[in-house]
Amino acid sequence: EALGPTITVGEILVEIMATTVGTGFIEPQSLAGPYPSGAPAIFIDQVARMGGAAGIIAGVGDDDFGRLNVDRLRHDGVDVSAIAIHEDWPTGSAFVRYRPNGARDFVFNIARSAAGQVGLTSAAEALVRRAGHVHVMGTALTIPGARKVILFAVETVQARGGSVSLDPNLRKELLTDDGALDSFNQVLATADLLLPSGDELFTAAGRADEAAAVAKLLESGIGEIVLKRGEHGASFFGRGLPRIDCPAFTVDEVDPTGAGDCFGAAYLTCRRKGMAPDAALLHANAAGARNVTRLGPMEGVSTLAELTTFIAETPRR
């Protein structure tokens, strides 16, 4: 952590969610929100809430959706100096409704919102030049401007001895051009820590078997892989280290969105503070589990003290 803050790049959004389960938005219905959101924003807010130095390169509109997000991030301790305020673009948004089987329907406004305008401003460059770690969100690689900033940040921070983590999180709905995949492979080739969930491990490795995929990625130079398994917990794989499995905490899931982002942020922040992988994994599991108990993707972020209490009081599966 001494080298500089953890930074991330990408979309800040408001999330507006249907209050009922069903299919999409083709009829009038009641909605809840706006809630602060965007995978990179949720991640960086969780880093800051745990006491990690944190900053984000992003864009919002000059509107209430933007103010809601920037106020929350600033309040929680995130360096917001590299969030550009765009006069001509509205803050990005995601409308989400859960289906009975747990799948989600989204209506996104990202590419044609302020979130789609992320670029290398002088404030962004200054933040990159003092950063110690870059966390790359796959979602942000689908925004061409953000992609350039990310590749610049990865190169600059690694050149000064910093590290890089990658959450694949590449939603098919957002994969609109080849640039996203190319840049994904570039980041994957130099990442120190990979945080996949579900099939993302297989896609990243080009292998359909978990052990083979992990082995291939560790051989290719990734130091640590932490696999997120939703309600089944998570596993750690490190080069030359024994595998660690961590069962999930038993909680009532109210809203799963954001669990992976909080999990990744907690894991990384613990590791950057010098915690061993097993303790970091336990805290990350706790951060993911706490997040799903709250409505709204960023409403369940945790302080270190809250995680400590949660770990002591909550049974595990």
Candidate list 229, 244, 306, 314; residue touching ligand ATP; CB under 6 A: 229
Interacting residue with ligand ATP among 54, 118, 153, 234 (CB under 6 A): 234
- CB 86 to ligand ATP: min, Å: 26
Q: List the strands of the sheet with 31-37, edge to edge.
A: 31-37, 13-18, 92-98, 104-109
For residue 18, the minimal CB distance to ligand ATP (Å) is 16
Task: For residue 192, give the amino acid letter.
Answer: D
228 contacts ligand ATP (rule: CB under 6 A) = yes
CB nearer to ligand ATP: pick between 126 and 279 = 279
The entry of ligand ATP, Mg ion, none near residue 277 (CB within 5 to 8 angstroms by kind) is none
Q: What is the DSSP letter of 233?
A: -
10's tokens: 């990408």
Residues 91-110 that bind ligand ATP (CB under 6 A): none
Strands (E), the chain: 6-9, 13-18, 31-37, 54-61, 83-86, 92-98, 104-109, 133-137, 163-167, 193-194, 224-228, 234-238, 244-246
When asked if residue 291 is in the footprint of Mg ion (CB under 5 A), the reply is no
Give the pair of three-digit tokens for residue 232.
């089944």
User: Residue 124 has which token pair?
Assistant: 């962004």
Partners of 84 in the β-ladder: 59
Give yes or no for residue 265 binding ligand ATP (CB under 6 A): no
* Residue 145 binds ligand ATP, judged by CB under 6 A: no
Q: Which is nearer to ligand ATP, 118 or 201 (CB)?
A: 201
**40, 132, 233, 277: residue in contact with ligand ATP (rule CB under 6 A):** 233
DSSP state string for 252-308: --S--TTHHHHHHHHHHHHHHTT--HHHHHHHHHHHHHHHHTSSSTTTT---HHHHH
| Interacting partner of 91 out of Mg ion, ligand ATP, none (Cβ under 5 to 8 A depending on kind) | none
Alpha-carbon dihedral angle through residues 314, 299, 52, 168, given to the nearest 10 degrees: 90
Would you count residue 90 as binding Mg ion (CB under 5 A)? no
User: Shortest gap between Cβ of 167 and Mg ion (angstroms)?
Assistant: 6
Residues 299 and 291: their CA atoms lie apart, in Å, by 7
Do 295 and 309 touch, CB atoms closer than 8 A? no
Nearer to ligand ATP, 163 or 197 (CB): 197
Using CB under 5 A as the binding rule, whether residue 260 contacts Mg ion is answered as yes
Which residues sit opposite 109 in a β-bridge?
Answer: 93
Using rule CB under 5 A, residue 257 touches Mg ion: no
Q: Minimum distance between the CB of residue 288 and ligand ATP, rounded to whole angstroms?
A: 2
Instruction: Pick the binder of ligand ATP from 292, 298, 301, 307 (CB under 6 A).
Output: 292
Among 150, 126, 133, 127, smallest CA distance to 3 is for 133
Q: Are 32 and 20 in contact (CB under 8 A)?
A: no
Binding residues for Mg ion, rule CB under 5 A, total 3
CB of 255 to ligand ATP, least distance (A): 10
Residues 176-205 that bind Mg ion (CB under 5 A): 197
Per CB under 6 A, 257 contacts ligand ATP: yes
Site string for ligand ATP, 157-176 (x = CB under 6 A): ------------x-------
Would you tell me which residues interact with Mg ion (CB under 5 A)?
Answer: 169, 197, 260
Would you tell me which residues interact with ligand ATP (CB under 6 A)?
Answer: 169, 197, 228-231, 233-234, 248-249, 251, 253, 256-261, 263, 285, 288-289, 292
